[in-house]
Structure 1
Amino acid sequence: MKAVLIATIGTRDLMFQISSGTWYNIGDDRMQNGEIIGEQAEVISDLRLHNITFRDLTKYLLDKITIYQERIKPVIIGKLLSEKAADIETVYLIATDQKLKVRERQKDTLYAAELIKAWIVNQFTHINVEIITLGQDGTNPSNFEQMFYWWRRTWREKITIQVDQPIWLCLKGGVGQASEASRISGLSFYGDRIQFFEFQQNTPANQAGIPSDYSGSFLGNNYLWDRTQQQALKLLARYDYAGAYDLLQPYFKKSSPSFETIANLLKAGIEWNQGKFDRFISLARSSSVAIPKLQDKLWMAYEQAYLSVVRLEQQNTIEAMLHSHRSVEGILYLWAEKLFPNDVIEKENQYPSLKNSILQKYPTLNRHFIDKQGMVLSEISFNGWVVQDLLNAAIPATINSIDFKAFWDSARKKRNYFSHRLGGLEEKEVFRAWGEDVTKSNGRNEYLIA
């Protein structure tokens, strides 16, 4: 699909060939010691004009376009248009046309844009050219905030872009505030569909009638990389891997090795946030992260506990409570499966089963295997209460452990309550659920454990 090219037009976008054959910039009015020494003076002199503003000079040339058509060229975008014309469908020229009371009106580019339009139409009959002016509504081209809102309206109401159509921005002309507002608003609308071109002035070549060199196109997102990078780092500091992935997704399309690695690591982080630790390890290793071989699943309990710490840092206290309890509960199941492989039967998406063969080792568990009719069961659901009794039987020291007392009592109750009820949970309640006496010191989050 052919591109839409959008160019801001400034006072130095046009060159004119004087009688000697040299091409001069119509708007170059540099001064030294109060005297104009710029190329504009050469143009005015060659045309035998006096004390004329840029606006009036370009209006004069437009009125006599049939005479001067071949002596006028766009100096900035001319080479780009000549070399890329076959790839362009429409050109929008952004020019100023300000109110009479505005001092800068004398440098308005309305007629310069008309001269450029005439050149394009004369050279490339297939290209549609439209001029969009700003200033008559009072918008100040030098005011970034005003220009930002002006551009947002213009993108929506005056610039027509088809789905998936490339968008080329040439922002060399005009004041910096207008160009920056165009860049940022355009990227907010179209993201990585925006492509930019840069231009390098070459005075000797320009005076020989050769328009300026250009470079590009450049991916639009490059202009916002510093800001995007800072946003991504803030998201990563909060372990928001999904948010960082969405933010950086346009850059992943570059298919460079570094961005591919970042994409896979963020995907691994998303899996980690969801507690899918096997997928997390697989994606991390595929990104060349050095992870030692893991002999069993005990490492998952650590990851689950760390996830609860992360949730606490995010002030997501309920999830912190659930994950912290789950980490201990999960490692107890792994412990039982590893220590009693012939007695514990793993079942998908439900509690494991415990066979009554465990009674040969720990007959004190007998009461769990008797149903209401007094029948002996061959296996039972290996729920939390059975796990507690098995742990106490296998490791009696845990019976008097302060940590396990909290796990089986206050932490379990708090976990169960928030698994089935609506409501909130303060940070200090998470610690108290685990048997910690928490107070705040000087308004800071310092946990004083009694």
Structure 2
Amino acid sequence: MHLWIVTIGSSDVQLDSDKTNHEKGRTEKQRSDKIWNYWYTDELKAECHDIDFVPQPAFKDKDETYRVAPRILGMVYNSSSELVQQEIWSYLTFPLLDNFVQALETYPTPEAIAVLLTDQSAIFADAQRRKPKSPYWQDTCELKTILQRYFASKFSGIPCEWLLLQAETQERGLDNWNDVLNCVREKFRDLRIAGQAVQLTSKDDNVYVSHQAGTLAISSAVQFCSLEKFGEHVKFLVSNEYNQNLTGILPSSNYLVALKRQQAEKLLEQHDYSGVKEVFSRYLSDEENILLDAAIQWNFAKFEEFANEVEKLSSQDLQSLVQAAKDRRKNWWWEAYEAAYLGVIRLLKQGNTVEAMFHTFRSVEGLLRRWVDEFHSEEIKQTKHPKSKGNERRNRNLNTYGEDLYWFLTLKKEVDQTKDIKQNTTPDIFVFGSQIFRKRNDLFHQLKGLQGKEAVFENWRSPNEPQWKQDSEGKWKKRILNCLNFVAKEDLPKVFETVEDASLMSQVHQKLEKAIADL
């Protein structure tokens, strides 16, 4: 199907200029502004609060057409006899629409037309309608009969669907960008032609969009919503009523890329890489899509697969990132820092408290396990629990999981056991090992989960330390990072200052931000 969506503005239907009247052999009394007085009857004038609507040219020139408020023009036509309607019709001119129709002659003919009209009658009281310059008179809804005849004369047998944009309140009028956007989106969502949903079955189907008429809010909304619904099928049909040479069809590619970029940037802000791929991958280069695939693997906590994707990059300007991935994955500790950053993103960008707690806890516990596997795999199995003495239940060797990992760490590294956190020289790893392990076990056996970010922060805080009243987010991130740095510090190339600095993914994310912004 080829569909034409067209907005109608206050100057789209006009009356013949003096020059045209002369060329048609009309007398002085038959000029557009003179004969109007015969059409605009006293009865109709009384209905219109006795307002003297008089057609006038936009500026004094014999070539300039006459214009009159569209609502009153439509009312005059609709209330006239068939004979008078025929006379009025002979005076009507459609500058922009004629230009559009001519431009469409070199393209597949529209098989359906959707026409947007306006009606603000609900928001203008009787007193406001008494003013000839009231926006009420600029509504185009009364032009429907004239436009039906026009489109039938140009595209015989083609169905028209009339989409009426109605204002609800003064505050939510047709110049309110948000409300108009929602209104147009709703009209397009429910759009049906001759009772049938619009079906674009071929990649060659066109949706011509003429959006210039009406308020700026309407024009903008029609552009946005047509791209949103019909994507690459959209072709913008634009014109200038004074210069037919400026009429033409513009491809929607630039508009569409801008729209998709906006969507992709919002998804990227949430670190929704799968969403970005669905919306924007076709506009990215092969290398940029590899970055996106790497990010998707990272978001699934598949860090080895993430690094594998990064190492596929071949462009010269990304080789530093490739080398960073190769260097990073040689280290036993690298995945723990990625898990920590993933947990931070889960909470701060995606609002998932349970996964945030899981990934951040897992980053430290997992690092302890990797540290044991790397340096003490046999020794831990032969080591008695530090609290075995005098406690038969603890009279066993350490396990390579859970709290036993922390107790083994206390035997191999200097972990300060001072309960006063202010006096403790290694407070972060001490709180993690002696308290957070138990909190984690309780949390993950509850069904209710964690309510809000503060609940996550609170579960990383010791009851023996002051409340994190200021910068709780920063204190939480620092605790996680300090735990990781404590375990791995002897093998780190440097002591990482931030979770972001420690993560390879943060570099990939920055590359994706730039790639999308530069398109």
Query: The TM-score by the shorter chain falls in which range?
Result: 0.5 to 0.7
Q: Measure, in 1, the Cα distance between the counterparts of 2:178 and 2:225.
A: 11
TM-score, structure 1 normalization: 0.64
Task: Calculate the aligned-residue CA RMSD, in Å.
Answer: 5.2
Q: Which residue of 1 aligns with 2:462?
A: 432
SS in 2 for 1:39: coil
Amino acid in structure 1 at the alignment position of 2:211: L
Amino acid in structure 1 at the alignment position of 2:342: L
Q: Which residue of 2 aligns with 1:306?
A: 341
Q: Measure, in 1, the Cα distance between the counterparts of 2:275 and 2:141.
A: 41
Q: Which residue of 2 aligns with 1:203?
A: 242
Measured against aligned partners, the alpha-carbon deviations of 1:306-343 in whole angstroms (never above 9, x if no partner) come to 33444564676654444343223322332343346xxx
Q: Which residue of 2 aligns with 1:271?
A: 297
How much has 1:175 moved relative to structure 2?
Answer: 2.5
- Contact 2:113–2:158 (Cα < 8 Å) also in 1: yes
1:159 lines up with 2:192 in the alignment: yes
Amino acid in structure 1 at the alignment position of 2:65: Q
Q: Measure, in 1, the Cα distance between the counterparts of 2:435 and 2:169.
A: 67
Relative to structure 1, is the Cα distance of residues 28 and 154 closer, same or farther in structure 2, using a 3 angstrom cutoff? farther
Match of 1:328 among 364, 371, 374: 364
How much has 1:217 moved relative to structure 2?
Answer: 3.7
Match of 1:78 among 90, 101, 107: 101
Relative to structure 1, is the Cα distance of residues 316 and 159 closer, same or farther in structure 2, using a 3 angstrom cutoff? closer
Relative to structure 1, is the Cα distance of residues 118 and 39 closer, same or farther in structure 2, using a 3 angstrom cutoff? same
Unaligned 5+ runs, structure 1:
45-51, 345-357, 368-378
Q: Which residue of 2 aligns with 1:282?
A: 308
TM-score, structure 2 normalization: 0.57
- Listed as ranges, the matches of 1:166-177 within 5 Å are 167-177=207-217
Unaligned 5+ runs, structure 2:
25-32, 34-53, 387-396, 418-424, 479-519
Q: Which residue of 1 aligns with 2:159?
A: 128
How much has 1:78 moved relative to structure 2?
Answer: 1.7
Q: Measure, in 2, the Cα distance between the counterparts of 1:228 and 1:306.
A: 24
Q: How many residues align?
A: 389
How much has 1:248 moved relative to structure 2?
Answer: 7.0
Structure 1 vs Structure 2: percent identity of aligned residues?
A: 19
- Listed as ranges, the matches of 1:29-428 within 5 Å are 31=58, 39-41=64-66, 54-55=73-74, 63-64=85-86, 68=90, 74-86=97-109, 88-96=110-118, 102=129, 103=132, 104=135, 107=138, 109=140, 114=145, 117-125=148-156, 127-132=158-163, 141-142=174-175, 144=177, 147-148=180-181, 150-151=183-184, 154-155=187-188, 159-160=192-193, 161-164=197-200, 167-184=207-224, 190=229, 192=231, 195-201=234-240, 203-204=242-243, 206=244, 212-218=247-253, 221-222=256-257, 224=259, 228=263, 231-232=266-267, 236=269, 240-242=270-272, 245-246=274-275, 249-252=278-281, 255-258=282-285, 264-286=290-312, 289=318, 290-292=321-323, 293=326, 294-311=329-346, 313=348, 319-339=355-375, 358=378, 364=383, 382-384=400-402, 387=405, 395=412, 397=414, 402=426, 405-422=430-447, 424=450, 425=455, 427-428=457-458
Q: Measure, in 2, the Cα distance between the counterparts of 1:221 and 1:14.
A: 31
How much has 1:227 moved relative to structure 2?
Answer: 5.3
Measured against aligned partners, the alpha-carbon deviations of 1:58-82 in whole angstroms (never above 9, x if no partner) come to 7799932898499867334223432
Relative to structure 1, is the Cα distance of residues 439 and 169 closer, same or farther in structure 2, using a 3 angstrom cutoff? same
Measured against aligned partners, the alpha-carbon deviations of 1:148-187 in whole angstroms (never above 9, x if no partner) come to 5654554455633334455432111223233334445556
- Contact 2:4–2:207 (Cα < 8 Å) also in 1: yes
Q: Which residue of 2 aligns with 1:350?
A: none
Relative to structure 1, is the Cα distance of residues 319 and 29 closer, same or farther in structure 2, using a 3 angstrom cutoff? same
Q: Measure, in 1, the Cα distance between the counterparts of 2:234 and 2:55.
A: 28
Q: Which residue of 2 aligns with 1:49?
A: none
SS in 2 for 1:241: coil
How much has 1:91 moved relative to structure 2?
Answer: 0.8
Amino acid in structure 1 at the alignment position of 2:280: Y
Relative to structure 1, is the Cα distance of residues 311 and 438 closer, same or farther in structure 2, using a 3 angstrom cutoff? farther
- Contact 2:8–2:214 (Cα < 8 Å) also in 1: yes
How much has 1:125 moved relative to structure 2?
Answer: 3.8
Q: Measure, in 2, the Cα distance between the counterparts of 1:312 and 1:217.
A: 37
Relative to structure 1, is the Cα distance of residues 126 and 317 closer, same or farther in structure 2, using a 3 angstrom cutoff? closer
Q: Measure, in 2, the Cα distance between the counterparts of 1:383 and 1:250.
A: 42
Amino acid in structure 2 at the alignment position of 1:276: K
How much has 1:275 moved relative to structure 2?
Answer: 2.0
Relative to structure 1, is the Cα distance of residues 96 and 417 closer, same or farther in structure 2, using a 3 angstrom cutoff? closer
Deviates further, 381-390 or 324-333: 381-390
Relative to structure 1, is the Cα distance of residues 426 and 193 closer, same or farther in structure 2, using a 3 angstrom cutoff? same
Deviates further, 417-426 or 292-301: 417-426
- Contact 1:272–1:280 (Cα < 8 Å) also in 2: yes
Q: Measure, in 2, the Cα distance between the counterparts of 1:142 and 1:62.
A: 35
Measured against aligned partners, the alpha-carbon deviations of 1:354-379 in whole angstroms (never above 9, x if no partner) come to xxxx47x9865699xxxxxxxxxxx9
Select the structure that is richer in strand.
Answer: 1
Relative to structure 1, is the Cα distance of residues 80 and 246 closer, same or farther in structure 2, using a 3 angstrom cutoff? farther
Q: Measure, in 1, the Cα distance between the counterparts of 2:466 and 2:169.
A: 60
